Structure 1
Amino acid sequence: MLSNFPPGLLAALLLVGSNVFMTFAWYAHLRDMASKPWYIAAFASWGIALCEYLLQVPANRIGFHVYNLAQLKIMQEVITLAVFVPFAVFYMQQPFKWDFVWAGVCLLGAVYFMFRG
């Protein structure tokens, strides 16, 4: 089924999944394990990060056939922000800030420069 997707789209979709795991690995312990020792949170995060890598490595290998390294990196950064904002607002109960939007606008400028010509 996944082989029916164009490689660039498949890479992007895998990076979205990877970033969901990455975001939870990096930040969910702040809410869910605040009372646990840091090393328990570190090991739990490490386990979540394994899932991230199982998606991220194939995503970058597939994407490298279509995009150059800088394009892959900026695509990952845009996806990271797109995943982080809903995570912060809905899961971590942080207030929405317009700074999220302005950061996204700045990233769109970076996308333009990485993908032009």
Structure 2
Amino acid sequence: MSRIFSVGAVLAIFLTSSSSTLAAGSATGTISSVAGDYNSGMLVKLSGPFANPDNCARTDWYILPDNHPHAQLLQAILLSAQAGNRLIGVQLDGCVDNFPRIIAAWN
């Protein structure tokens, strides 16, 4: 049942995101580190190659902005993937504070 909820939640995020989602890049890996209490949101570091489709200045972390309409849901998805050491995928679009911006996540 929780798997169905996860898939439904991800679909809802994609459907409510802007049309620029189609041109965005993505990255996958396990979450090696997260940092909270940053000025603009939650920082996430993934194992594996770093994706930077919009050539943001920072190439070490991704950011999930606090003002994302689904920030709490995405934070829960990211933290549960980290806790379970599961592979996670993130959809990227644009830059926030020079970090590639996470707009969706799935695991």
TM-score (norm. length: structure 2): 0.30
Relative to its length, the structure with more helix (as a share) is 1
Greater fraction of residues in strand: 2
- Structure (1 or 2) with the larger CA radius of gyration: 1
